[in-house]
Amino acid sequence: MNSRFYITTPIYYVNAEPHLGHAYSTVVADVQNRFHRLIGQETFFLTGTDEHGDKIVQAAERMGLSPKEYTDEISKKFRDTWPLLDVRPDRFIRTTDPEHIKTVQMVLQKVYDKGDIEFREYEGLYCFGCERFLIERELEDGMCPDHKTKPTRLKEKNYFFLMSKYQDWLIDHIRSNPGFIQPERYRNEVLSFLKEPLEDLCISRPVSRLTWGVPLPFDKDFVTYVWFDALINYLTGLDYPDGERFQKFWPVANHVIAKDILKPHGIYWPIMLHAIGLKPYESLHVHGYWKIKEEKMSKSLGNIVRPGWLVENFGSDATRYCLMREMSFGLDASFSYDGFVTRINADLANDLGNLFSRSTTMLHKFRKGTVPNETGMEGPQDELRKAFSALVPTWKELMNGFQVHNALSEIWKVLNMANKVIDTTAPWKLAKDESKQVFLDDVLYCLMETLRLSAVLISPVMPRASEKIINSMGLDPDVEFSENGLKWGRLNQGLFIKKVPPLFPRIGPSRKEAKENIKKKREDIKKEKDVSMDSKDKKDGLITIEDFQKVDLRVAQIVSAQKHPNADRLLQLTVKAPEERTIVAGIAEHFSPDSLVGKKVIIVSNLKPVKLRGVTSQGMLLVAKDEAGLHLLEVDPETEPGAKVS
Ligand code: ME8
């Protein structure tokens, strides 16, 4: 095995903000980075943003910003998103970084001097979404299959990279390196594409049409086309050509992408590398699409899920777990809120969370919280010891092959086995039987050691929960999350295990269930009302105008919103009406804090302040409630905060 590992994500276009699809590739890379570090390799992890090209200029124009201002803003959003998901890249690269521009120009000059770049006229069908010319057979019903738009016919003189002359070399390289493109279906896809003659690659745009790009060093009237610019980030990221990092990490380069950019990575990139005399990357790892209701999640289709929203709802660990567990690497997967909730409640709250709390509770009850002697007895618990000797090598192999979903499923088999060990050995019964104490010691030891070792195995995916487990054992995560930590039997007798709050509290009913509950409640209330209205004076429900005038309704603008520190169902809002005040509202299950900021709503402003779980609420937010749930009562955005509602 190599002693080093270099992992990259695509650099994302800044024409839209990050979504779950970007988060997936980035978390995959982070998990790989953590895994390879854990098994003792020196690693380097690169991500970043792709900032040149027509699409970016158009997006900036729509926002009324210069390309520079615009790219600064959106690039920062990507950079700020990754820590929310505990993603820790070693370098965040931007294609507008001066050192990158220098590297691109150096590479272009090298390829040009070699005679692999030529100036010619070209006419073809250009997709602005893909930022490249498409060929007829790539179209579906005359449209770009990815962007569902009709390409534009363009004719212009441009520079071309003479890719076709390296076609046979590439076929040979892919055939003789089975792991070069993974999973195999994508390797086959590239090989089947290479059965047709390759066209040369247009690598420039005239500055008359586009100035937002890297100028060609050999012709100032042209800038380079995005792919020649973008792919080179993987070299700039290692300080190519002279950096020490380049020497260390280029031979072990692993790229993660989705299938949308298979062709540039599976064909253009290895040929570019070969042309400049470099060995191609070690492996390309290609995953499928996250979809929503059968459509690819994408900024152009507008059906996106924000990573920040996922973290707010589920937390970072559970989001990472669901991303890794719900998608088989290489295949498409569907996102649904309910699917994530079900997964979290079943795997994290029940299987892992319960195992941890049941085991520590019993350890406290029967052994004052200290780890007993491992007595190595036969019994159901012995299966756990045996299971790990098979699980650890399987886990390594699956993680190495980017089969994280399968690695997790193998770990969960053992966690379930441990839960069954508790049921079948019934430690609470053993505790009452003097003759069973040595056996009980072994059962408790095996449960705790199962938890420690599982924590090590899940640490690349769920760094927080695994650290909590290791810390509760008074151990050092830096020591445990290493090759040493992978050995059974590291928990020493006498070690005190702290009790900690539940690792993964159950998430309340899913939206669908919540809607059904609300509907049922409404029906119950209606039934009760109908009965009381019949028996009492129906006029009882009416109020006078004077009654209504007692209520002071005002327009308020929500300035900030955050989760209530002590209650899951509550949000803490700061509103302007026109003076600032705090309102605590029971709407956390229906609205994400971010979605509320800036909204103008109606509040009851003369309610007596009340303290709700430690925070004083000065008023009440009005919402409408129907079978679908809660809806905000928004007012015309022109209305001044503080305006009286009558
Ligand atoms: O293509 N499912 O940038 P991009 C899974 N700048 N992954 C998805 C996804 C989805 N629905 N949507 C996006 C570019 N992705 C170029 C790359 S690299 C030298 C230049 C992820 O912003 C996935 O990794 O369109 C995909 O390959 C990438 O975002 C495309 O990002």
Q: Shortest CA distance to 280 belongs to which of 190, 197, 204?
A: 190
φ/ψ (deg, to 5) at 436: -105, 10
Structure tokens at 507: 């998430």
Confidence at residue 310, expressed as pLDDT on a 0 to 100 scale: 95
Distances in Å between the Cα of 489 and the Cα atoms of 353, 384, 440, 492, 497 are: 22, 12, 17, 8, 15
For helices 307-314 and 316-326, give the axis angle rounded to 10 degrees. Answer: 110
Would you place residue 444 in the very low, low, confident or very high pLDDT band (cuts 50, 70, 90)? very high
How many angstroms separate the CA atoms of 177 and 190, rounded?
Answer: 13
Contact assessment for residue 30 and residue 18, using Cβ atoms and an 8 Å cutoff:
no
**103 vs 147: CA distance, rounded Å:** 31
pLDDT band at 638 (very low <50, low <70, confident <90, very high): confident
pLDDT digits (tens, 9 = 90+) for 130-176: 777 888 888 999 999 988 999 999 888 999 999 999 999 999 999 99
**What residue's CA is closest to ligand 1, atom 13?**
21
Residue percentage of the chain with pLDDT more than 70: 96
How many angstroms is it from 21 CA to the middle of ligand 1?
A: 7
Mean of the pLDDT values across residues 377-399? 97
Q: Which residue has the tokens 């260390």?
A: 248
591 band by pLDDT with thresholds 50, 70 and 90: confident
CB-ligand 1 contact for 15 (6 Å cutoff)? no
Give the mean pLDDT of 222-243. Answer: 95
Q: What span, in angstroms and rounded, lies between the C-alpha atoms of 179 and 190?
A: 13
d(CA 170, CA 421): 54
Task: State whether the beta carbon of 632 lies less than 6 angstroms from ligand 1.
Answer: no
The CB of 94 under 6 Å from ligand 1? The reply is no
Does 530 score more than 70 pLDDT?
no
Neighbours of 412 (CB within 10 A): 17
The model carries a pTM of 0.80
80 alpha carbon – ligand 1 mean position (Å)? 18
Distance CA 39, CA 53 (A): 40
Work out the number of other CB atoms within 10 angstroms of the CB of residue 127. 20
Q: Residue 500, Cβ neighbours under 10 Å: how many?
A: 13
- The first and second tokens of residue 531, run together, are 């009965």
Q: Indicate whether residue 231 lines ligand 1 (CB < 6 A).
A: yes
Identify the pLDDT of residue 521. 73
Give pLDDT, residue 508.
Answer: 80
Q: DSSP states of 458-506 as a string?
A: HTTT-HHHHHHHHHHTT--HHHHSSGGGGSTT-SPTT-B----S-SSPP
Q: Which residue has the tokens 């650890």?
A: 392
Q: What is the largest CA-CA distance in the chain?
A: 96
CA 232/CA 248 separation, integer angstroms: 17
Residue 627 has pLDDT above 70, yes or no: no
Least confident of 194-198, 220-224, 538-542: 538-542
Index of the ligand 1 atom closest to the CA of residue 256:
24
Residue whose CA lies nearest to ligand 1 atom number 19:
231
Say how many Å lie between the first and final Cα of the chain, rounded: 74
If 0-12 CB within 10 Å is exposed, 13-18 middle and 19+ buried, where does residue 312 land?
middle
**8 Å CB contact between 139 and 145:** yes
Mean pLDDT of 337-351: 95
d(CA 450, CA 447): 5
536 has a pLDDT exceeding 70: no
What is the structure's pLDDT at 294? Answer: 81
C-alpha 12 to ligand 1 mean position (Å): 6
- Cβ contacts of residue 455 below 8 Å, gap of 6+? 465, 466, 469, 470, 480
Indicate whether 531 pLDDT > 80.
Answer: no
Quote the mean pLDDT of the chain.
Answer: 92
Q: What are phi and psi of 185, to 5 degrees?
A: -55, -35
Q: What is residue 284's predicted lDDT score, i.e. its pLDDT? A: 98
268 lines ligand 1 (CB under 6 A): no
Q: Are strands 553-563 and 600-604 parallel, antiparallel or unpaired?
A: antiparallel
User: What pLDDT does residue 533 have?
Assistant: 54
**Residue 194: predicted pLDDT:** 97
Residues catalogued as catalytic: 19, 22, 127, 130, 144, 147, 296, 299
Taking residues 483-493, what's their average pLDDT? Answer: 96
Most confident of 153-157, 239-243, 626-630: 239-243
Q: Is the CB of 230 under 6 A from ligand 1?
A: yes
* Residue 605 Cα to ligand 1 middle (Å): 47
Alpha carbon distance 150, 472 (integer Å): 58
- What whole-number distance in Å separates Cα of residue 497 and Cα of residue 491? 10
260 lines ligand 1 (CB under 6 A): yes
* Cβ–ligand 1 contact at 5 (below 6 Å): no
Cα distance between residue 263 and residue 121, in whole Å: 23
Least confident of 6-15, 33-42, 366-375, 569-578: 569-578
pLDDT band at 64 (very low <50, low <70, confident <90, very high): very high
Please report, for residues 46, 87, 265, the alpha-carbon distance to residue 30 in angstroms, rounded to integers and kept in the order given.
9, 6, 20
Indicate the burial class of 206 (C-beta count within 10 angstroms; 0-12, 13-18, 19 or more): middle
Structure confidence by residue, pLDDT tens digits, 75-120: 999 999 999 999 999 999 999 999 999 999 999 999 999 999 999 9
One-letter amino acid of 175: R
Q: What residues contact residue 183 under an 8 Å CB cut-off, 6+ apart?
A: 286, 329, 330
Regarding beta strands 644-645 and 620-621, do their DSSP bridges make them parallel or antiparallel, or are they unpaired? unpaired
Candidates 11, 20, 22: which one to mutate for ligand 1, based on the most atoms within 8 Å of Cβ?
22
Mean pLDDT of 335-343: 94
Which helix (H) or strand (E) element contains residue 601?
strand 600-604
Q: How far is the CA of 173 from the centre of ligand 1 (A)?
A: 25
Q: What span, in angstroms and rounded, lies between the C-alpha atoms of 349 and 346?
A: 6
Q: What is the mean pLDDT of residues 619-640?
A: 83
Structural element, H or E, at residue 435: none
CA 365/CA 475 separation, integer angstroms: 22
Exposed/middle/buried for 294, CB within 10 Å: 0-12, 13-18, 19+?
exposed
pLDDT for 540 equals 60
pLDDT tens digits, residue range 405-442? 999 999 999 999 999 999 999 999 999 999 999 999 99
Which residue has its alpha carbon closest to ligand 1 atom 12? 21
> How many residues are recorded in the chain?
646
pLDDT at 637: 79
As a whole number of angstroms, the distance between CA 44 and CA 60 comes to 32
More confident residue, 580 or 47: 47
Q: How far apart are alpha carbons 41 and 1 in whole angstroms?
A: 9
CA-closest residue to ligand 1 atom 4:
12
Q: Report the pLDDT value the prediction gives residue 613, as an integer from 0 to 100.
A: 86
